[in-house]
Amino acid sequence: MSNNAGPGTKDPGLLRMAIDCHLKDLLLRIMSAIHFYKYQGTGNDFVIMDNRKGAYNFLTEEQVHFLCDRRFGIGADGLMLLNTQEGYDFGMKYYNADGRESSMCGNGGRCLVAFARKMGLSSEQLSFLAVDGPHEATLKGDSWVNLKMQDVNGVELGSLYSYLNTGSPHFVKFVEDVKAVDVFSEGRQIRYNDRFAKEGTNVNFVQPLEQGIFVRTYERGVEDETYSCGTGVTAAALMTAGPDEKEYVIPVQTLGGNLEVRFTKTGERSYNNIWLCGPATLVFEGNITLP
């Protein structure tokens, strides 16, 4: 009698090999999956990873861009790594959604502080080092973070705009009705004009309110309007100050919620003790495999 079971029967050895290959591939995918956290601060959202053991130093520009992609990845305005940093509670590394390492992000810094506490850095006052220098922060309750920004000692004042650096460069323009502004079109036109095209700038449209201001921002690196921009809100608030050298508290509305900026004006174009204050919350966490 023939042992040939016919052409429709699969060889058990080949079937086992196929199963083993599938299991090995599945195991490799599980082992290569990266764990992430998604945070947001007034709608400005970020992918965050705990990199204190250097597990994510390998990330490339293309991979960061993929992770921030809202259709094929997790979706975010930027990505941050929580690093170890001698002399500080932690270090902050920030990437824009285009995958490039970038300048300071105020809302990102606040979210990273909230994340650091979740990771066990439980002090109500934390210090960290970012690309623009040292920062300190205080936490109130479950989600409120006050972040100290760098002093500003120089502002370019044009006839229709202001230009300053609050950790990132910002073009500030006051308007009568910020809701009527085509932020994408007008912001992009300024961001890519001859002066700013190479390095880029963030563009803020600001409407004075009875109490505070309403700010909408076109962000470089995202290349679109975001729901909120911490360094942009800070820049706009500084430009709201009157001529008096004193302490100011400026309430700020954004598309994603409310913030507050506190500072002291010390000269015609000088500001210190600048604090960006607002909520920073965990949205979700999960695992994802890089392509």
Please work out, in degrees rounded to the nearest 5, the angle formed at the alpha carbon of residue 205 by the alpha carbons of 179 and 140. Answer: 95
Q: What is the dihedral of CA 142, 130, 264, 171, to 10 degrees?
A: -110
Task: Supply the DSSP string of 167-231, one letter for each residue.
Answer: SSEEEEEE-S-GGG--HHHHHHHHHTSTTTTTT--EEEEEEE-SSSEEEEEEETTTTEEES--HH
| Residue 245 in tokens | 């050298």
Phi-psi map region of 258: left, alpha, beta (phi>0 left; psi -120 to 50 alpha): beta
Question: Catalytic: which of 68, 105, 111, 277?
Answer: 105
Say which DSSP state 20 is in. Answer: H
Question: Catalytic: which of 21, 68, 111, 229?
Answer: 229
21 is catalytic: no
Dihedral pair phi/psi, residue 167, rounded to 5°: 110, -25
Cα distance between residue 20 and residue 76, in whole Å = 37
229 is catalytic: yes
Phi-psi map region of 189: left, alpha, beta (phi>0 left; psi -120 to 50 alpha): alpha
Integer angstrom CA distances of residue 172 from 123, 166, 213:
35, 12, 12
Say which DSSP state 61 is in. Answer: H
Catalytic residues: 105, 229
